[in-house]
Every structure is written in C-alpha cells, then in structure tokens.
Chain A
Amino acid sequence: MAVDEINATAAWRQHPLRVVYRDDSASGVRAAAIAQELVDSAPVVAVVGHVNSKAMMAAARVYDGHMAAIATSATSPDLTGLSRWTFRVVSSDSANGQAIAQFVNQRGWHRAAVLYENNSYGRGLANAFRRSYKGEIVTFDPVDDTGNESFEPFVSFFKLRAPDVVLVATTDPPARAFLKEAKRQQLAAKIVGADGWMPLTGDGSIADGVFVGAPFTATDTRADALRFIQAYRKRYGTDPDGYAALAYDATYVLAQAIEKVGTDRARVRDYLASMNAPFPGATGPIRFGPDGDPTGKAIVMTQIEHGKLDVVSGGSAP
C-alpha cells in the first residue's frame, strides 16, 4: 500500500519505486542467503525487513558495509548496535519489556508469573521485564514456540499459586494455546502479552480482556495514524495490525531517504543514520539512534476489547 501511495506522488511518477519481495520463512539460514542475493543485485538500493529477530540477526552480518536494511518488527536486543547499516522502526525488546514492567508496577500487581518463548525474542523480552519488575516473580519458565505444547501444567500451577499477573512473552501460536487453556481453567490472573501477539487481535473469543503492549493500535487517534488506518480499511476492509503499520512506516522512511539523496547505497545509509527531523510515521515519530534503534519510541499498553486494541492508562504513551 505504501509503495502505491508513494508512486502516486509527483516526485516518483517518472522513476517509480519498485519492490522485490523475498520470503525468509523466519529462518536465519534462509535470511542470510536472501541478504546475499540482494547485496549482489545492483538495482536494489536498500531493504525493508526482516520481520523476525532471528532472521534479521543472520542477515545483518551480510548487509554490514554494503546496504542499509530497516527491520520492521524484529525486536531482539541483540540487534541493538549490531551493524551501522541496519535500523529498525520498532522499539527493542529491552525497551518493550521495561515498558510492560512499568505498566505492571503501576497497576500494583505484586506477584507475577512469566512464560517466555524459548528463543532470542522471548528470552530478551522476559529478561528485560525481570530487570524492571519490582514485585515477586513466582515462576520464570521457557515454553515451546510452536504452540503444540500443553499449557495445562502451567495454568494448573498458576491456579495453585495464584499470581496477580501472568506475562506471556511469546509469539501468537503459543499465546493462542495458553489463552485457550487459561479460559478452560478460568484462570483469574491478569494476562499480559507483547508485540508478538499482534495477530491475536481479532480472536475475540479467547483474547478479550488481555493486556497487550503493542507497537501500534488501530484505535490510535493521532492524525498520522488515522490517515494510515483509514487508507488501510478502505483498501483491505479490515483494521491494520502492528506488522502492517511498521512495514508501512519502514517503506516510507526508506522512500524519503531515496528521494533526498538518490539511489547510492552508502548515501542512503548515511541519510538514515543522521535524519534531521523525525519521520511522522503511523506508529509514531521515527528517527534512528546511533545503534540503529528508534529513539523515543515505545510500545503502547492496550487491552483487547471485542477484537480491538483499546489504549489503557498506566502504560507509557508513544
């Protein structure tokens, strides 16, 4: 959608932005191979992506020194400062975990249980939460990232020990499995998820009432967000999720860089590294710090109500 919008403007009509799509299947090995292919392909100026932290970690080593890449939703703290050529429009797990911990602290939930997806995403987010959380952590358990695991022992245990809140630092498949089990056992504790839960938004039956730290919400009322949300609804007939918004912003930032300094790969990187003013993105103002992370950007705490993310107080606003 961003590409069509950009090419519709006067500046791009002569030489339209063209996009080459590649699927890394969230695999590091596959991502590295794709990165190499893109670096070797002369007409490719820069990359929007990758989506996944693990893929981005592997690909960043290939892009380093050759081509700028703007990751969309890769949040792993290990990406921070990894390469001078990689950037991301989403705040890192460190910042997100910290924001969630602050929210939980402010809500006065003193006993927390943590389930984390046992990979760099889940571990990073859980660890950041643990560092900033002021209450007692009842359990701190790794879970499978496939969603095939049975969460019955964990939910039973939580019912027994009754924590105030359960942080589920996973992507959507384990989250779905957990929420089903929690609903079945009618777990009383509050449930908090993070940006990995974006695709859950629409699953009203199980997700209603849970808190989500989201990089973007379709109920955002800022002008820049509204413009994007309305255009997206018009085009796809549904509300955009965080992934869509982040990819949209990353594409726009890159287009702005090319518009300003041309198609030289190094100059595009230099432009991204030293932007004068933040880009007014749908997910908030975007400007990159020296480590490639967005400065002053964080997730917003929301609660899922009838398939929508409603902003709730106690979280840190963007």
Chain B
Amino acid sequence: METGAFDTIRGRLWGGFGVLVLLLVLAGIVARNSMTTIAGTIHTTLGQVQSEADLASQLSARVSQTMEAGARYIETRDSAAENAFRRDGWAAHDVARRMNANTGQTTSELETIASIDNALSTVEVHYAAADRLADLGRTADARTEAAGARAAVTDLLANIERLGSLKAERVAAADDRLSLDTRRKSATLLVLIAAAVVIGIVVVVATISSIGGPLDLLVGQARRMSQGDLGARTDATLPGEFRILADAMNHTGQSLSRVVSAAARTADDVATSAHELASVSEQISLSAGQMATAMTDVAHGAEMQVQELRVVDEALQAIREAAVAVRRASDEVNELGHGIEGTAESKRSEIERAVGMLIEVKKAVEHAASEVSALHSMLGDINRFVHTVGQIADQTNLLALNAAIEAARAGDAGRGFAVVADEVRKLADQSQRAAADIARLTMTVTARATSSTQAMELGARRVGEVETLSREIDQALRTIVGAADRTRAAALAVTSAAESNERAASTAAATVQRIAQTAEEHAAAAEEVNASTQEQSAACEQMTSASGVLLQGSTQLKELVGGMSKA
C-alpha cells in the first residue's frame, strides 16, 4: 500500500491544524496591519486637517481684524488703529504663506490660498491709499477709496469660504477612503476566518471517523490474544498508524507462537543438561579436592626452596665481601708500585745530570793536558835559544879578551879601546849568567809541566770510571721502574678480577633473591589455588543444587507450554 503524507492520522492532523494556524496568523497580521495603517492615516489626516483648520481660522481672523483696523483709522485717524492695520495685514500674509507651504494640497486649494493673499493685498492697498487721503483731510475721498476695497473684500470672504469647503471636501474624501479601506480589510478578514473554521471542522470529523473503526478491530484482536488465542489476526484495510499497529500485533502473535514451541523444546533440553551438569559438577568437586592436596605440597616445597636460597645468598654475601678486601689490597699495591716508579725516575734523572757534569770535567782536563804538552814543546825551543845566547856570550867574551890584548899592545892609544873591551866582556858575562838562569828556570818549568800532565791523565781516567759507574746505576734504576710498572699492572689486573668477582656475586645474590621471591609467590599462588579449589568445590555443590532447581523448572515450563494452543 502506498503511504502518502495524508494517509496517516498524524499527517492529516499536522496538515489540517497547520493550515488552520496559518490562516489565523494571516488573519492576525492582516488585522494588525489594517489597524496600524488606518490609525496612521486617521492620525495624519486629523493632524493635517487640524493644522489647516487652525491656519484657516487664523487667516480669516487676521483678515477681518485688518479690515476692521483699516476702516477704523479712516474714521478716527488713531495711530493704534494704523499699527493694528499693518500688523494684522502682515500676520495674515504670513499665515497665507504658511498655508501655501503645507504639502499635499490640491491645485484648487493652492489657487484659493493665492487668491486670498492677492485679495488681501488689494484690500490693504485700498485702505493704505484711503488712510493717506484721510491724513490729507479728504475724508470723503478716503471713504470712496475704502469702498473700492469692497469688491476685493467680497472676493476675499468668498475665497475663505471656498477654502473651508475645499478642506471639508478633502476631509470627507479622506473619510470615504478610510471607510472603504476598512470595509475591504474587514471583508478579507472574514473570508480568512471562515476558511479557518471550515478547515477546522473538516479536520475534526475526518480524525474521529478515521480512528473509531480500526480501534474496535484492534481491541477485538488484543482481547483474543490475551485469552491465549495466538492465531488471531486483523487483515482489514486501515489508515496509516492503525495499519502499522495491526501489523505489529499480527507479528506479535506469530512471534509468540514461535516462542511457545521453542520454549517447550528448550525445557526438554534444559532438563537433560541439568542432569549432566550435576554429574559433571561432582567430578569437578572431586578433582578439586585432589588438586588442593597437590597444591599444598607445592606450597610446602616452595617454602623449603626459599630457605635453602637464603643460605646460598649469605654465602654469596661473604664472597662479595672477600672480593672487596682483595680489591682494596691490590689498590694499595698499585699505589706502592706507583710510588717506587716515581722515586726511581727522579733518581735516574739526577744521575744523568751528574754524568753530564763529569763528562764536562773530563773534557776540561783533557784540554788542560793538551795545553801543558804544548807548553812542554815550547820549553824545548827556549832551551835551544838560551843555548844560542850562551854561545854568543862566550864568543863575545873571547872577542873582548882579544880586544884587550890588542889595546894593551897599542899602548896609550888603545887605552880607551881597552876600557870599551872590558865593558863588552862584562856584558858578555852578564848575558852568560842570564842564559844560565833561564836554562835553570826552563828546567823547573819542564819538570812541573810533566808532573801536571801525569796528574791530569790520572784525573781523566778517574772521571771515566765514575761515568761507567753512573751508567750502571741508571741501568739498575731502569730495571726497578720496569719492575714497579709490572707490579702495578698485576695489581690492576687483580683489582678488575676482584671487581668482576664482586659483580658476579651481586648478580648471583640478586638472582637468588628473585628466585626466592618467585618461590614465595609460588607458595602464595599454590595457597590461592588451594583456596579457589575449595571455592570451586563449594560452587560445584551449588551447581548441583541449581541443576536440581533447573530440572524442577523445566518440568513446570513443559507443563505450562503444553497448556497454550499453537498457531
């Protein structure tokens, strides 16, 4: 069946009332708008009419006062009258100007206002001339002149009257317009409200008729089903919601039938299962008892294990402490070796410096020896020279002797000469003695030089021996440094070995701790298992009793289902 928007009760109600509300709202808006517009128009029109009426009455008052004052002046020549004539005349023109300025006036109104202004002007002009004639004392002329204004006055009054009737006409026209407008708007309102009423009635009647019949059918079906007749069905054509309700009830009947047969089958199955369940639960209870015993054993074993592990842990603790002691000792050895090495190194460097100094000394001694040797050889040269000088002196002595002889021979002549020869011989003797002194001196020097050379050679030899000794000491110190270094390396190796021992012991201890903990957990777990096994046993007992209840229930269900008729 096709389901349109208006096939359901809800759809019809929404649609119907929607249109109804829409129409009423529309009517409200139209009414409000009309009221506002009409009120506005009335207000504007009344305001305009009032202000125009005011101006018109002012105008006619001013005009009549002007004419009255003008006429009075001619008769009395009273300056107050003249002033009033001017003032009122100007005021009247001013009113006319303001009237002219009002908007929304018809051309004939504007023309009338202009005519009033013109007529007033003419009247004023006549009276002004009349006043001047009166001033000149020509009263008769003045009256004639004033009479000339009469035509204009008549015209003026006619125009004021005409303006009044024009205004009245305009008010009447506005009134007609307003009442026509009001009638038109109220007719629209009536149509809207009538439409709303008709639609309301249609909606109510349709709703009632479309609910009553189907409801009776469905009540009948429900009653039969409540009496256990699950095969009752409603197949008549019904509006939307009722069709859905009937389908739902039909479907419920079918579902209930299916449920009933399934329930019967299930009751049988449940009974069988309950028997099986009871036996199984007994078995479980039994094996749970066994399991509890086993678990108690496990817990006991685990506790034992923990105790033994505690012993192992203590032993490991001792090992670790020993390793620590070894490490400390080897550290001390290492430090000691380091100290020895340092001392030996410093000594070695001192010895090297001493050896250096000795070598310098040796070089100086050797140099001095070579200088002495050179001196020695020079002494030889001196000896030879002295020997030569001695020979020359001997020769000279001999020559002087010969000369003395010759001089003696020459007698007195050679006396001077004999003196010179004697002096020469003395010189020769002196030279010979000097040469002998030098020869002695050089002998002494030579002897000293020789002994010096020998002493130096001895010194040089001693220095060489000291150097050799120093080198040997250096070698010995080197050996000591090497030995100390090796000792330190050995001590370091011992330290690292001790450390690794310590670590291994710590690791082992931690492992043992963990194992102990695990063992404790095992023990605790075993106890928990034990407890839960006991709970399980209790549960099994409950299960056994529950299966008894189930069995009983299934028997009852079977009886109940048997009482219901099936579809």
Q: Which residues of A contact B (CB under 8 A)?
A: 28-29, 78, 118-120, 123, 139-145, 149-150, 153-154, 156-157, 160
Distance of A145 Cα from B124 Cα, bound (Å) = 12
Say whether B124 contacts A157, CB under 8 Å: no
Which of A120, A150, A157 has the most CB atoms of chain B within a 10 A radius of its CB?
A: A157
Say whether B124 contacts A118, CB under 8 Å: yes
On whether A29 and B121 interact (CB within 8 A), knowing A141-B128, A141-B132, A142-B128, the answer reads no
Distance of A123 Cα from B136 Cα, bound (Å) = 25
Contacts beyond the supplied A118-B125, A139-B132, A150-B129: 6 A-B pairs with Cβ under 8 Å: A123-B90, A144-B121, A149-B125, A149-B129, A153-B132, A153-B138
Residues of chain B in range 101-143 having any CB-CB distance to chain A below 8 Å: 107, 110-111, 114, 121-122, 124-125, 128-129, 131-133, 135-136, 138, 141
**Given the complex, which residues of B lie within 8 Å of A154, measured CB to CB?**
129, 132
Say whether A156 contacts B136, CB under 8 Å: yes
Chain B: CB-nearest residue to A27: B114
**Given the complex, which residues of A lie within 8 Å of B141, measured CB to CB?**
153
Distance of A308 Cα from B209 Cα, bound (Å) = 107
Say whether A142 contacts B136, CB under 8 Å: no
**Given the complex, which residues of A lie within 8 Å of B121, measured CB to CB?**
118-119, 142, 144-145
Chain A: CB-nearest residue to B142: A153
Chain A: CB-nearest residue to B118: A119
Distance of A78 Cα from B145 Cα, bound (Å) = 32
**B122 contacts which of A78, A140, A144, A157 (Cβ < 8 Å)?**
A144
Which of A29, A78, A142, A156 has the most CB atoms of chain B within a 10 A radius of its CB?
A: A142
**Given the complex, which residues of B lie within 8 Å of A143, measured CB to CB?**
125, 128-129
Say whether A140 contacts B110, CB under 8 Å: no
Q: Mark B376-407, 1 if CB is under 8 A from A, else 0.
A: 00000000000000000000000000000000
Output the least CB separation between B480 and chain A (Å): 117
Chain A: CB-nearest residue to B125: A144
Distance of A229 Cα from B531 Cα, bound (Å) = 137
Say whether B89 contacts A142, CB under 8 Å: yes
On whether A160 and B136 interact (CB within 8 A), knowing A28-B114, A140-B86, the answer reads yes
Counting from the closest, the 8 A-B pairs by CB-CB distance are A118-B121, A141-B128, A153-B132, A157-B132, A142-B124, A144-B125, A153-B133, A153-B129
**Given the complex, which residues of B lie within 8 Å of A150, measured CB to CB?**
129
Q: Mark B354-372, 1 if CB is under 8 A from A, else 0.
A: 0000000000000000000
Output the least CB separation between B108 and chain A (Å): 10
**Given the complex, which residues of B lie within 8 Å of A119, measured CB to CB?**
121
On whether A29 and B107 interact (CB within 8 A), knowing A141-B128, A142-B124, the answer reads yes
Which of A123, A144, A153 has the most CB atoms of chain B within a 10 A radius of its CB?
A: A153
Output the least CB separation between B47 and chain A (Å): 20
Distance of A263 Cα from B73 Cα, bound (Å) = 59
Which of B93, B111, B138 has the most CB atoms of chain A within a 10 A radius of its CB?
A: B93
Distance of A120 Cα from B133 Cα, bound (Å) = 25
The 5 sampled A-B contact pairs (Cβ below 8 Å) are A28-B114, A139-B132, A141-B128, A144-B125, A156-B136
Output the least CB separation between A154 and chain B (Å): 6
B223 at the interface (CB under 8 A from A): no
Distance of A141 Cα from B126 Cα, bound (Å) = 10
Distance of A29 Cα from B110 Cα, bound (Å) = 8
**Given the complex, which residues of A lie within 8 Å of B111, measured CB to CB?**
29
**B135 contacts which of A29, A123, A157 (Cβ < 8 Å)?**
A157
**Given the complex, which residues of B lie within 8 Å of A29, measured CB to CB?**
107, 110-111, 114
Chain B: CB-nearest residue to A123: B93
**Given the complex, which residues of B lie within 8 Å of A141, measured CB to CB?**
128-129, 131-132
Distance of A153 Cα from B89 Cα, bound (Å) = 21
**Given the complex, which residues of A lie within 8 Å of B89, measured CB to CB?**
142
Say whether A157 contacts B136, CB under 8 Å: yes
Distance of A149 Cα from B110 Cα, bound (Å) = 27
**Given the complex, which residues of A lie within 8 Å of B184, measured CB to CB?**
none
Say whether B122 contacts A153, CB under 8 Å: no
**Given the complex, which residues of B lie within 8 Å of A153, measured CB to CB?**
129, 132-133, 136, 138, 141, 145
**Given the complex, which residues of B lie within 8 Å of A78, measured CB to CB?**
97
Distance of A141 Cα from B133 Cα, bound (Å) = 13
**Given the complex, which residues of A lie within 8 Å of B131, measured CB to CB?**
141
Output the least CB separation between B83 and chain A (Å): 10
Output the least CB separation between B82 and chain A (Å): 9
